[in-house]
Amino acid sequence: MTDETQAPAVIYIDQMDGSIRKASPVHLRYIRADIAEGLLRALAGVIGLVENGTCFHAETYRGGLIWTICQDCGAKWADDEGGFNAPKAPIELIEAQEAIRAAKEAGL
């Protein structure tokens, strides 16, 4: 289990009544190991789909005098219209990655 001084990743649980609440590490201790492993596999799969289906515009080049063009998806940004701003990963993706990391560290 993680050290009590270390802040665990926040995990949200969808309740039967449709509400969502934060789960503490204590709640995670009571999930059966096979269910926890299945949840982690499913979460890793969803992360893979998001990462593979989302262009983060990592490779860009200049096209002409004012254009920045993504080499992967072809999106274009004009300097006179605000120019290129590198997108950030969605917070949900970051939280999912942190949840998997925390679960692995906790031995799940």
- At 1-34, the pLDDT tens digits run 444 444 445 555 555 565 555 555 555 556 667 7
Supply φ then ψ for residue 15, to 5 degrees: -85, 160
The predicted pLDDT at position 24 comes to 53
Q: What is the pLDDT of residues 28-75, one digit of tens each?
A: 556 667 777 788 888 888 888 887 878 878 889 999 889 999 998 889
Residue 21: predicted pLDDT: 56
2 vs 101: which has the higher pLDDT: 101
For residue 58, what is the DSSP state?
A: -
Tell me what pLDDT residue 29 has: 55
Query: Could you give the CA distance from residue 67 to residue 61 in angstroms, rounded to a whole number?
Result: 8
pLDDT digits (tens, 9 = 90+) for 72-86: 888 999 998 888 887
Q: Where are the domains of the chain?
A: 11-56+89-105
The answer to whether the predicted template modeling score (pTM) of the entire model surpasses 0.75 is: no
Radius of gyration of the chain (CA): 19
Q: Of 48, 79, 47, 45, which Cα lies nearest the Cα of 64?
A: 79
Would you state the pLDDT for residue 25?
52
